[in-house]
Chain A
Amino acid sequence: MDTLPEQILKTRNLTKRYGHFTAVNDLSFSLQKGDIYGLIGKNGAGKTTLLKMVSGLTAPASGEMELFGQTSESGLNRVRSRTGCMIESPSFFPYLSAAENLEYYRIQRGIQGKKRIQEILRLVGLSNTGKKKFKSFSTGMKQRLGLAFALMEKPDFLILDEPTNGLDPMGIAEFRDIICKLNREYNTTILISSHILGELSQIATVYGFINQGNLVEQVSASELAKKCRRRLAIKVNDIVKAADILKGELSCTYEITEDSRIFVEKYVDAPEVLNETLVKNGVQVFELTTAGLRLEQYFIDLVGGNQNA
């Protein structure tokens, strides 16, 4: 069995223009084996265009792309058989059922064994759709079939564009489980764009923030968690005394800001303990709140206001 190169995808100055409009501008990024890369950007930021270039649906105006170590057109086409894609909305033949649609692509790709179709339909929860045609599917069912299609050939690299659109909360949770299972058990690398940032924050190991075709920031999940960390913000009558108590009795590290607030990471889930200790030691607590950024807020701060993430 071939050993996968550590780097699955690498782009160098990838650019795509439509007339005078630059959809993706000089974009360079890379994905390591086993990454779940969350691509975050508002509508029209260039996410789908980037995914289309990676999956070979459109050619870049300039720049280079390396996929599984291949850079030539024929080489890229060859290794794309190791990827599973779901770009934009799932598209299938409306007059065929779920099984028939997958059978069409099974024949086309030369995948052995018809039972794979039933396996994959069961995995995404579509095994009981029978002869129901794709045109009669709900949005959630269509998304599930799109996911089934992407997973059909046990890909090494999954490219998913807004995969949870139209899924109900249970569907989203199931989807998350499938993605995490694939990543955990098969070390599948996943590039996923989504507007539901809270959802991405539960699975992504790396984040790429894209705005107006530019990659604004690429950050690991742990770095981002650090940046968005939740802390307790405390305002008291005696900062020096409070600091002593925090350091001594509560064994906390703290940070004091210019506006005389004390920030503490410990006890973020038990603020009443901290409050009680301070009060018991004669410190008056004027304010005790939880501070910290959610992914949405971090993204909005990063790309500027009036966003539509």
Chain B
Amino acid sequence: MLKLIHADLYRSFHRPYLFALTGFFSILAILFNLMFSVDTPIEKSLQFSLNYMKFLPLFAVMIVDIVMTEENKFSTLKNTISFGLGRNRVYVGKLITSVILSVFCAVIAFLFYMGSAFWRMDAGKELTPTFMEEYLLRILVMFLLFTAALFVAMLFAAVFQKKGVYVFAFIGFLLILPLVFSGLGLRIDAFRFLYMVTIFGQAEGLYSINAAQLYEPVLIAVLHMVICDIIGTSIFRRQEIN
């Protein structure tokens, strides 16, 4: 599996798309800090950023596009499968590659974000080690939710081989469905519960819950990963490769 991951990383780093994506997030991170006036304490920007990070899992679709969807588009998967590499290994290998690329992208964008925040703004009284610890913990949980979104994207990439359908299905599942649940949840409690078991629902709540409640998004993320991996591998194993 290491060879598979190594090969996919080789290919991804020969793709300008990955660097464009990283650059896009880095610019977005800098622009976010430019929204605040110079006398705003850094912790305000950091707190505020958590609220916007709920949309980050939507970008998982772009990472999986680099790793998996374009294999469908260019029909290159047949070269890998015909060599006799186990399909489970291929599927899991692509998931791990997606996570590695996400870490690469996220770390660079986060460095730009923190760098521009500290360069432009001053630390306030609330910027204590405890505050930073809680903030970084939430960032880690957000990354876990992002990873869960990667698993969902991989599942959809395996099911829907046409890129347009894949993106539409992913956005529908990750954003539209939770919004529908949220709307219906105003009248029916069961939908409120359904909203809270979605990745978007948990990502949105990350801003307001306390540290002791962080196990909830972790649990939901792990649940999504396990379910999507089981369904995804079983579909991929039976699939005809074109």
Contact = CB atoms under 8 A, between A and B. Distances in A.
B12 to A, nearest CB: 10
Contacts of B74: 91-94
A269 B152 CA distance: 70
Interface residues of B, number: 26
Contacts of B83: 80-81, 83, 85, 105, 108-109
Contacts of B6: 107-108
B187 interface: no
B128 interface: no
A57 B80 CA distance: 10
A59 interface: yes
A74 B240 CA distance: 17
B162 interface: no
Contacts of A92: 74, 76, 79
Contacts, number: 86
Interface in B80-123: 80-86
Q: Which of A56, A80, A94 has the most CB of B within 10 A?
A: A56
Contact of B82 (A87, A89, A103): A87
A57 B15 contact: no
A52 B240 CA distance: 9
A175 B158 CA distance: 36
A90 B199 CA distance: 39
A298 interface: no
B215 interface: no
A157 B4 CA distance: 23
A83 B74 CA distance: 22
Given A56-B84, A57-B240, A96 B79 contact: no
Contacts of A273: none
Contacts of A78: 84
B84 A76 contact: yes
A100 B14 contact: yes
Contact of A77 (B4, B7, B85, B241): B85
Nearest to A87: B78
A76 B83 CA distance: 10
A206 to B, nearest CB: 22
Contact of A91 (B3, B10, B78): B78
B17 to A, nearest CB: 8
A305 interface: no
Q: Which of A76, A85, A109 has the most CB of B within 10 A?
A: A109
Given A92-B74, A95-B14, A100-B14, A105 B79 contact: yes
A58 B11 contact: no
B3 A107 contact: yes
Contact of B80 (A100, A108, A159): A108
B125 interface: no
Contacts of B238: 59
A244 to B, nearest CB: 62
Given A58-B240, A59-B238, A78-B84, A91 B7 contact: no
19 contacts: A55-B81, A57-B240, A57-B242, A58-B241, A77-B84, A79-B84, A80-B82, A87-B78, A88-B75, A88-B78, A92-B79, A95-B14, A95-B16, A104-B11, A108-B3, A108-B6, A108-B80, A109-B3, A149-B79
Given A57-B240, A87-B78, A89-B75, 13 more contacts: A56-B84, A57-B81, A76-B84, A77-B85, A88-B75, A88-B242, A91-B74, A91-B76, A95-B14, A95-B16, A103-B10, A108-B6, A149-B79
Interface of A: 52, 55-59, 74, 76-81, 83, 85, 87-89, 91-96, 100, 103-105, 107-110, 149, 159
Interface of B: 3-4, 6-7, 10-11, 14-16, 70, 74-76, 78-86, 238, 240-242
A-B CB proximity, top 4 nearest: A80-B84, A108-B7, A91-B75, A107-B7
